[in-house]
Amino acid sequence: MKHIIYSAVLFLFGISSIFAQSLQLPRQSTKAEVTQQIGLSEVEINYSRPGVKGRKIWDGLVPYNNGIPFPWRAGANENTIIKISDDVEINGKSIKAGVYGFHIIPSESEWVLIFNNHNKSWGSFFYDESFDVLRVKVTPTKNEFTEWLEYGFENITSNSVSVYLKWEKLKINFEISFNEKEIVLNNIREQLLSLPGFGWEGPMEAATFCLDNNFNFEEALKWIDISINRNPSFQNKIIKVELLLKMGDVEKSKELEKDAFENPSENELNVYGYQLLNKNKMDDALKIFKFNIDRHPNSWNCFDSYAEALTRDGKSEEAIKNYKKALELAPENQKGRIRKELE
C-alpha cells in the first residue's frame, strides 16, 4: 500500500510540474523595435522600454561609473540588440556588419557605448569585456522629459544616420555612416551575375550609377560597352559620351556624340533633356529641348517640355510663347493642364 501511495504522489508531482508553467502577463518594460533604411543598408534596434515611474534614473536606478562588475544594459530585460546590415563607421570608428549586444557605462560628463559580440544574454549580468568589438565615447545632453526609454533615428542622409537614446531628461546620439556607394556597387556586381546581367538595360543602369556618383569609370565603361553591343541606342551612347569626357578622352567623346545625335527619337531626346534638367544642367537641357523642337516642329510635347524648362530658368516670356504653341498643337486631354501652366 505504501508503495502504491508513493507512486501516486510521484505521478501527481510529475503532472503538476508539467502544468505549472508561468502565466504570460504584460511586461513592465515593453518590447520595442526601430528600423531605418539607409540606401540599401539597414540599422535595426531591438530593446525593452523601462519607464521613469517617479524614480531617480541617472546616478540612481542607473548608477554612474557602473563599469564594475558590469555596465548598464541600455534598456531593460534582455540585451539591447543593434543589427547592422553592412560594414559601417560609428562616430568615425570602423565596425563590421553584424548583430551586437549594446551596453553603456554612464557617468555625469561622458558615456562609454559598448558594442559586444554577445547578444543573447539577460541584460548586462553576463557581460564579458573580452567580447567587446567597439567602444565609443559620447557626451549626454539635456532633453525634454521622456517617460519611456526611447531609441530612434534623426539627421538622415543618403549614407548616414544619427541614432539617439533618450530617457528621463537626458539624451545621447551616435553617428552611423555607411560607404553606401561601395555597398551599392558591390550589390550591382552581384545583380549583374543574375537576370539583370542578360539584357542591355542592367549594364547601362550600372554605368549610369557610376557616372552619377563620379567614380569607378573603367568598370562603368566596360558595362556601357556591353549595353551598346547588345542594343545600341541614343541613351546608352550618350552615357558613354559622358563617361569618355570624365576619363579625359575628348576626341572619342565628340565622335560618339555625333553618332548618337544622328537619328534619336523624340522621346529619347525628351528624356535626356529632363535628365539634364534634374541635374541642374540648365543650359544643356534647354539646348536639347530646343533641338527636339527643331527636329519635331509639330509635336506639342516638345514645346511643352521646352516651356517647362524655360519656366524653371526664369524666362517667363519665352515660356509663355512655347506653352501657347503647345496648347495650339495639344490633344484635348492636355489642353486644360497647359492652360493652368499659362495662367
Residue range 310-332, pLDDT digits in tens: 999 999 999 999 999 999 999 99
Q: Which residue has the cell 548618337?
A: 260
Q: What is the pLDDT of residue 170?
A: 97
Q: What is the pLDDT of residue 20?
A: 54
Strand partners, 42: 37
Q: How confident is the model at residue 304 (pLDDT cuts 50, 70, 90)?
A: very high
pLDDT > 70 in the chain, percent: 91
The structural architecture, per CATH, of the domain 179-263 is Alpha Horseshoe (1.25)
Q: What is the pLDDT of residue 23?
A: 63
Answer for the pair 244, 252: CB distance below 8 angstroms, yes or no: yes
- Distance, CA of 214 to chain centre: 19
Q: Report the CATH superfamily, name and number, of domain 265-343.
A: Tetratricopeptide repeat domain (1.25.40.10)
The C-alpha atoms of residue 218 and residue 210 are separated, in whole angstroms, by 10
**What are the residue ranges spanned by the domains of the chain?**
30-178, 179-263, 265-343
DSSP string, 234-245: HHHHHHHHHHHH
Answer for the pair 313, 329: CB distance below 8 angstroms, yes or no: no
Residue range 2-60, pLDDT digits in tens: 555 555 444 444 545 455 566 666 667 789 999 999 999 999 999 999 999 999 999 99
Residue range 182-215, pLDDT digits in tens: 999 999 999 999 999 999 999 999 999 999 999 9
Residue range 234-244, pLDDT digits in tens: 999 999 999 99
Cell digits for 30?
Answer: 515593453
Phi-psi region of 102 (alpha: psi -120 to 50; beta: other; left: phi over 0): beta
pLDDT at 263 over 50: yes
Answer for the pair 211, 221: CB distance below 8 angstroms, yes or no: no
Q: What is the pLDDT of residue 121?
A: 86
Residue range 276-294, pLDDT digits in tens: 999 999 999 999 999 999 9
Cell digits for 290?
Answer: 530646343
Q: What is the pLDDT of residue 66?
A: 57
